[in-house]
Amino acid sequence: MARRLRPAALPARWIVPVAVLAGALAGGAYGALRTPEYAATSYVVVVPTERSDPAAALGFATAYGRVATQVAVVGDAAVWAGVPARTLKENVRTATSPDAPMISVTATSPRAGTAVSMADGVARSLVVNGSQTQSSTHVRVLPFSRAVEPTSPVTPSAPLAALVGGCAGGLLGGLGLLVRPKRRPEAPAHAGGAASVPAPAAASSPHQQETV
């Protein structure tokens, strides 16, 4: 019966180099094929009125930062930015500081100008909403800094993605080398074949006597 053919195992010394090469190729292809994205950030600040205090302004800044995308969708931010409301919700992120009542609005888009329009549109919606609720919140939301059009994408370039992919591949290859099962040593073959074991001698019967 013919023996089943098995693929030759990769030598241990080649596992890490092959993993690095595969990771670099995958990362480079990802960086080359992915559409570059641009990010723009706009800032608004929350200030207290005469009937409030800085602590209240800081609390409302945190609250506005959490509902910024909802406020923008309800308002006219999508119209000002020229994009659907779903695009705003998926590509706009806000951040607040525990020390200052400021909200940063960051938008990402394949077009630099669209990212600026989205960030400024959401910030404008926060300002309008803050003006409408000022009588009940006793804080004002004011524009602090408009977004600046980015000149370079935030997505990694193909060489950088290849470098990151190569490092990740080398790490995975090293881990695979550590958990690779070790081969059991083969038993040495005897030159003369299998040793023969002598058969046990037959015991003589006690009734048999030697003849003289």
Task: Tell me the average pLDDT across 169-179.
Answer: 66
Whose structure tokens read 């993605």?
161
- pLDDT of the residue at 190: 52
Residues 67 and 101 both lie in one domain: yes
94 in the same domain as 49:
yes
Distance (Å) of CA 11 to CA 35, 61, 126, 186, 210: 38, 59, 61, 18, 70
Residue 186 included in any domain: no
**Domain match, 167 and 115 both:** no
57 and 75 within one domain: yes
Of 94, 123, 145, the residue that ends a domain is 145
Answer yes or no: do 65 and 119 share one domain: yes
Structure confidence by residue, pLDDT tens digits, 183-196: 555 555 554 555 55
Same domain for 61 and 124? yes
Looking at the structure, tell me whether residues 18 and 47 fall in a common domain. no
pLDDT score for 168: 73
Question: Could you tell me if 61 and 86 lie in one domain?
Answer: yes
Q: Is residue 132 part of a domain?
A: yes
Within-domain flag for 202: no
21 and 61 together in one domain? no
Among 144-158, 170-184, 186-200, the minimum mean pLDDT is found in 186-200
Query: Looking at this protein, which amino acid is placed at residue 111?
Result: R
Residue 6 lies in a domain: no
Quote the tokens at residue 104.
């940063």
Q: Which contacts qualify for 97-100: CB closer than 8 Å, 24 or more apart?
A: 98/58, 100/45, 100/58, 100/61
Q: What was the pLDDT predicted at 143? A: 93
User: Residue range 161-170: average pLDDT?
Assistant: 66
Q: Is the pLDDT of residue 128 over 70?
A: yes
What pLDDT score does 1 carry? 45
Number of domains forming the structure of the chain: 2
In this structure, the answer to whether residues 44 and 26 fall within a common structural domain is no
What confidence tier does 152 reach under pLDDT thresholds 50, 70, 90? confident
Predicted confidence (pLDDT) per residue in 56-113, tens digit: 899 999 999 998 888 887 778 888 888 888 888 899 999 998 888 999 999 999 999 9
Q: In terms of domains, do 47 and 137 share one?
A: yes
What element of type H or E holds 120?
helix 112-132
User: Would 67 be classed as within a structural domain?
Assistant: yes
Bin 11: left if φ > 0, else alpha if -120 < ψ < 50, else beta. Answer: beta
3-class secondary structure, 43? strand
Per-residue pLDDT reduced to its tens digit, 17-68: 766 667 766 665 665 556 678 999 999 999 998 888 888 899 999 999 998 8
CATH number at residue 127: 3.30.70.1130
In a domain, 17, yes or no: yes
Q: What is the pLDDT of residue 173?
A: 66
Query: Looking at residue 53, what is its pLDDT?
Result: 85
**Residues 23, 56 share a domain:** no
Domain hosting residue 83, numbered range? 38-145
* Domain assignment present for 208: no
**162 within a domain of the structure (yes/no):** yes
Dihedral of alpha carbons 21, 23, 26, 32, sign: negative
